[in-house]
Structure 1
Amino acid sequence: MEHHETLLHAIYYLLAATIAVPLFRRLGLGAILGYLVAGAIIGPYELGLIYQPEATFQFSELGVVLLLFVIGLELNPQQLWKMRLDIGLLGGSQMLLTALAITAVLAAALNLSWQQGFMIGLALALSSTAFAVPLMEEHKIMGLPIGRKGFSILLLQDLAVIPILLLLATWSPIASAEAHVPWWIGLCTVAFLLLAGARIFNPLLQIVAKYGSREILTAAGLLIVLSVAYLMQLVGFSMSMGAFLAGMLLAQSSFRHQLAADIEPFKGLLLGLFFIAVGMSLNLRLLFAEPLVILALALALMLIKILVVTVVLRVRKFPVKEGLLMGVMLAQGGEFAFVVMSTAEQTQFLPKDITSYVVLVVGISMALTSPLVILHELITRKRTMQEKATEEAAQAANSLQELEQPDAHKAEVIIAGFGRFGQIIGRILTAGNIPFNALDKNPEHIEFLKNYGVQSYYGDATRIELLEAAGIRDAKVLVIALVNIEASLTITKLVKTHFPHITLIVRARDRAHAYQLAELGVENPIREIYESSLSAAMQTLTEIGYTDGQSQRAIDIFREHDQTLLHQSIAISKDPKELAQLVKQSRKELKDLFSKDVQL
């Protein structure tokens, strides 16, 4: 019976998401709000289809864990060290100022001690990484300076959860049932992972890639993420922080793009489930009983956080417009506020009626975030043509500066297949300071190339998730340099369908392969031995007495004639008789061309 109930619950989740998310996206309200509404409808306060959302919430937190892991893959310890001032100053200022402002409001409105008010302020100062990061990625600001500042604030908030819980344990009249691990054990664990983690994880992934299958490599990636996350939870940190640390340790690994592509589906599904669980936890009966009060409290919380983030970023010389956008994206309460309020209630530090209000206000603020971001977009779109022209000029200037420092922006070229063919292209791009991402399926090959300073990544380029992880949406050119004909054709079809803006340069193994590529719309496939054969033919003619000019002329005639023949052959490439007839006719035409040239 329990098995059937679990299956039925899974059907409810999928049905609610399948109906609500497309509908809300169609209305322009975003997927996150769709998940929240779906959860609220099927939760215990409405239809009651799911009456115990706590278990779902705990499991769905893995979505946040995987999200932080993927973010960690985009960073490395050196980059994190560069962000230390932003993490400390921006994040610390946001937390402290927001907590003090909320404490002042609560002290004036409610009969609470300053410790209770400050604890509520700290809990509400936290934002939701699960909400904010997808919003930043959706609006393509995650890689911009303002996006990195916003992420620094979120990272400090994750780090602050443990001190907040320790402070709560100190102030609570009843000790928490959970045993707290000494702080120094947590720090020693982090130090150990930073020093030895990469030396353990990379060899493991190399062995799995060499002897296992794609599914086992995915399993190994999940094993690393969940193991580190669980370890960090045991020593007193959050699972999200552990996942971020695991991703950061693998940021310089050859498997980085492959892991990001493999984990993406799990991350998306579990994040959706997380938002549904948040929706189910909202006490809508309390909301319907006092709708104006709850809505006013949620809007007041968001206003305080927007103002604080805007001021903090303005001090760091960011425009008010960018500060407001980041403030709106970080204005919601965070998922860790649920943890803090639950602990505060269990230890009798706060009464249940207060924690219920706080939890509902956090949930409503989450639901309001997407609409407020959309409203902010509508307002900012109403700008004069002069402002737009000024911004475009500034963007053009920034682009010129980035071109002078190619490492500062995303790859312009992706090379699929980094054997001898692809390496020559990569060497020329490197010499020209042109950033590129190279993908190859041979893990030993990747490690060998790294010994010579060649940056390349392990991965199967026939997978759309991997191409996206490698940056194909922002790239200009995709070079398909694979030996495998089937894989080459698969990638070509994939890119023509999903990324038509990309210029394709494709290696053709032979003439038949070139026919197939031409049928798919590839202009001038690069036949791998064609140019080298022509070069050898030219040298042969020179050695038997032709002048350099005569040799070059003969090669030019052949190249032009052969290219014409290739285009003529495409339509009849599947008919051997007609193709044979065309080849015979073309040989006669080629002889005639050479004869006329000799006579001239």
Structure 2
Amino acid sequence: MPHPEWIQSAIIYLSAAVICVPLFRKIGLGAILGYLVAGIVIGPSGIALISDPEKLLSLAEFGVIMLLFLIGLEIAPRKLWEMRKSVGITGTGQLLISAGLICVGLFFLTKDWDIAWILALTLGLSSTAFAVQLMAEYEILPTPLGRQGFSILLLQDIAVVPILFLVSSLSADESAASGSPAVTAMVLVAVILFGRFALNPLLRIIAHYGNREVMTAASLLIVVGVAELMVAIGLSMGLGAFIAGLLLANSKFRHQLETDIEPFKGLLLGLFFIAVGMQMNLELFLQEPWFILLGAFALMGVKTLVIVGLLKFQKFSLRESLFLGVMLCQGGEFGFVILSQASAQGLVEAHLSQQINLIIAFSMLFTVPVALLVKKFVSKPKNAGENTYDSIDHEEPEVIICGFGRFGQIIGRIMTASHIPFTALDKDATHVGFVRRFGNKIFYGDASRMDTLEAAGIAEAKLLVLALDDPKTITKIAHQVRVHWPHVKIIARARNRGHAYQLYAEGLRHIIRETFESSLQAAAITLQELGFTEGQALEKVDMFRIHDEQLLAEAVEYKDDLAKLIEVASEGRKELQDIFEKD
């Protein structure tokens, strides 16, 4: 039986990634540089295990398409409106001013304003992966300064799509713009109407009658199908994927779609960066080291100065402005994406594209050491609680409710009445559709999957309420959250005393037994009907509650020993009787 060549190639790609990416993340340089170095090592400039990176690039570009879909999925119109001030001033200002200054310098190199402007916009983008990681590490994301940084990154993510569209429009390949404007407009309107009125009902049917694999297939079909349709009318696949994401940004299936697409995006995007690394010309760096290094430092300097100026204009201190500026001064991963498209369409010659690729890569390489150097001289920004800047957290939940049946809905209604943002997850598509008709914010998704919880915002949440019907699922989720997000407080529904033992053993202390409180309330009413005063009845009920909770805590270590549990329960009854008699 012949041995397929692609298996050997896959082993080489995966081995390079498995070795390089963890190593680079461990030393603080990030996964993207790890992928790039992996590509350099196995590519023509390294040990030449792979000689033709173009074959990989054609497949890996689907990772870019899925990334653009997820960007559209995360950009809910309401969130953009709430952030309009910071995105409009800081985000737009950073990109346009940085690109304008860089464009002037590039014009003397290219002698073409169109190419210079495309490259300037490309270099004006920062690395979201690097910047968010640094801001999280230095604990500035929840501060006013961190919000400004997030606004800059959000605007850049949005700007990628029009930049790619601009590349297509300026391309020498006229086929990219061969579609009739009328046909293009009609198809776009049809896609929007389909997304608005038909897509959610279709997904609801698939969720109800299919399984997880079918839902994943549907997610991929949406992305690739809309992207291919855009190509048919003369637009880019990336624009189609972005439009598909926007159409589903407010869908109840949003978190599930994000969860299903994320693994494919991550793998294919990693392959894309490996392919970019394989195309990097190390011989060019050895021939022009000073040009590449000076270009990288010039890029970092220009972007830092622009960000410092914009933040000083908004009354931030020089130290704070410099602190954020160096975190966002590098070139971004989208730069590789745009350069790849521009080169493929003949807009930018190969030599210049390789130079810019190297400049972006080295600017990313220098970001971490420069940030560490600046950190020594700049104090961490204060988390000013009294600030009046636009908040970016309205879409981020303080509470996540897993399971939105009888138990979860009451909690959700009280949260809504108290103006506390929450996100509810339920994997019954029919129930989700019914509950949303009453104005509840609920999403279709399997809360037992960690990637679904991540998509729902578990990392930023303060509380997780486990209100599901299935005790095993509740225990499983509780264990996962305790391990991966120990800062999140958990309030869990317990089916019975045995389930409460399991949750207590997992370290939970806020355990609500389904019938416990209602039984205590019934006991209090019973005592009153028998002649006890309300105060006497409530006192006895409180004594029982305290005693039973103490007994529960003591019996946890014997939860698997029935004989010992019976013994503890017998002793508990005697103790309770003694307490009541003394009272």
TM range (shorter): 0.7 to 0.9
1:62-94 deviation per Cα after TM superposition (whole angstroms, max 9, x unaligned) = 222222222222222455577789989988877
1:350-379 deviation per Cα after TM superposition (whole angstroms, max 9, x unaligned) = 7xxxx2321111221231232232134224
> Are the equivalent residues in 1 in contact too, given 2:167–2:341 (CA < 8 A)?
no
SS in 1 for 2:493: strand
Go from structure 1 to structure 2 and tell me whether the alpha carbon gap of 1:369 and 1:194 turns closer, same or farther (over 3 Å shift).
Answer: farther
Go from structure 1 to structure 2 and tell me whether the alpha carbon gap of 1:422 and 1:179 turns closer, same or farther (over 3 Å shift).
Answer: closer
Unaligned runs of 5+ in 1: 170-174
Which residue of structure 2 aligns with residue 484 of structure 1? 470
1:317-332 paired onto structure 2 within 5 Å:
320-321=321-322, 322-323=324-325, 325-330=327-332
Which residue of structure 2 aligns with residue 282 of structure 1? 280
Go from structure 1 to structure 2 and tell me whether the alpha carbon gap of 1:470 and 1:529 turns closer, same or farther (over 3 Å shift).
Answer: same
SS in 1 for 2:490: strand
Give 1:129 deviation, angstroms.
Answer: 11
Rounded Cα–Cα distance in structure 2 between residues aligned with 1:344 and 1:288: 26
Which residue of structure 2 aligns with residue 172 of structure 1? none
> Are the equivalent residues in 2 in contact too, given 1:95–1:125 (CA < 8 A)?
no
Go from structure 1 to structure 2 and tell me whether the alpha carbon gap of 1:572 and 1:94 turns closer, same or farther (over 3 Å shift).
Answer: closer
1:8-407 paired onto structure 2 within 5 Å:
8-80=8-80, 104-105=104-105, 108=108, 114=111, 117-127=112-122, 132-138=127-133, 139-140=135-136, 144-169=147-172, 176=174, 180-300=178-298, 303=301, 320-321=321-322, 322-323=324-325, 325-330=327-332, 333-344=335-346, 355-383=349-377, 388=380, 391-392=381-382, 395-398=384-387
1:462-518 deviation per Cα after TM superposition (whole angstroms, max 9, x unaligned) = 111111111111111111111101101101111121112221111111111111111
2:118 partner letter: A
1:527-542 paired onto structure 2 within 5 Å:
527-542=513-528
Rounded Cα–Cα distance in structure 1 between residues aligned with 2:550 and 2:81: 58
Which residue of structure 1 aligns with residue 537 of structure 2? 551
Rounded Cα–Cα distance in structure 1 between residues aligned with 2:544 and 2:62: 62
> Are the equivalent residues in 2 in contact too, given 1:86–1:152 (CA < 8 A)?
no
Moved more, 13-22 or 514-523: 514-523
1:42-69 deviation per Cα after TM superposition (whole angstroms, max 9, x unaligned) = 1123222111111211211222222222
Go from structure 1 to structure 2 and tell me whether the alpha carbon gap of 1:427 and 1:159 turns closer, same or farther (over 3 Å shift).
Answer: same
Give 1:244 deviation, angstroms.
Answer: 2.1
Go from structure 1 to structure 2 and tell me whether the alpha carbon gap of 1:157 and 1:519 turns closer, same or farther (over 3 Å shift).
Answer: closer
Rounded Cα–Cα distance in structure 1 between residues aligned with 2:96 and 2:539: 77
Rounded Cα–Cα distance in structure 1 between residues aligned with 2:547 and 2:356: 72
2:467 partner letter: A
> Are the equivalent residues in 2 in contact too, given 1:40–1:279 (CA < 8 A)?
yes
Rounded Cα–Cα distance in structure 2 between residues aligned with 1:428 and 1:213: 33
Moved more, 311-320 or 49-58: 311-320
Which residue of structure 2 aligns with residue 584 of structure 1? 570
Rounded Cα–Cα distance in structure 1 between residues aligned with 2:405 and 2:399: 16
1:440-519 paired onto structure 2 within 5 Å:
440-519=426-505
Give 1:421 deviation, angstroms.
Answer: 1.0
Residue identity over aligned pairs, in percent, reads: 43
Rounded Cα–Cα distance in structure 2 between residues aligned with 1:244 and 1:377: 33
> Are the equivalent residues in 2 in contact too, given 1:201–1:224 (CA < 8 A)?
no
Rounded Cα–Cα distance in structure 1 between residues aligned with 2:524 and 2:393: 40
Give 1:454 deviation, angstroms.
Answer: 0.9
SS in 1 for 2:328: helix
> Are the equivalent residues in 2 in contact too, given 1:209–1:217 (CA < 8 A)?
yes
TM-score (norm 2): 0.88
1:124-166 deviation per Cα after TM superposition (whole angstroms, max 9, x unaligned) = 1243899723234423559834323333244334213334443
Go from structure 1 to structure 2 and tell me whether the alpha carbon gap of 1:294 and 1:567 turns closer, same or farther (over 3 Å shift).
Answer: closer
Rounded Cα–Cα distance in structure 1 between residues aligned with 2:248 and 2:154: 19
Q: 1:438 aligns with which of 408, 424, 433?
A: 424
TM-score (norm 1): 0.85
> Are the equivalent residues in 2 in contact too, given 1:231–1:242 (CA < 8 A)?
yes
SS in 2 for 1:335: helix
How well do the aligned residues superpose, as a CA RMSD in angstroms? 3.3
SS in 2 for 1:504: strand
The number of residue pairs the alignment matches comes to 571
1:475 partner letter: A
> Are the equivalent residues in 2 in contact too, given 1:480–1:504 (CA < 8 A)?
yes
Rounded Cα–Cα distance in structure 2 between residues aligned with 1:247 and 1:299: 36
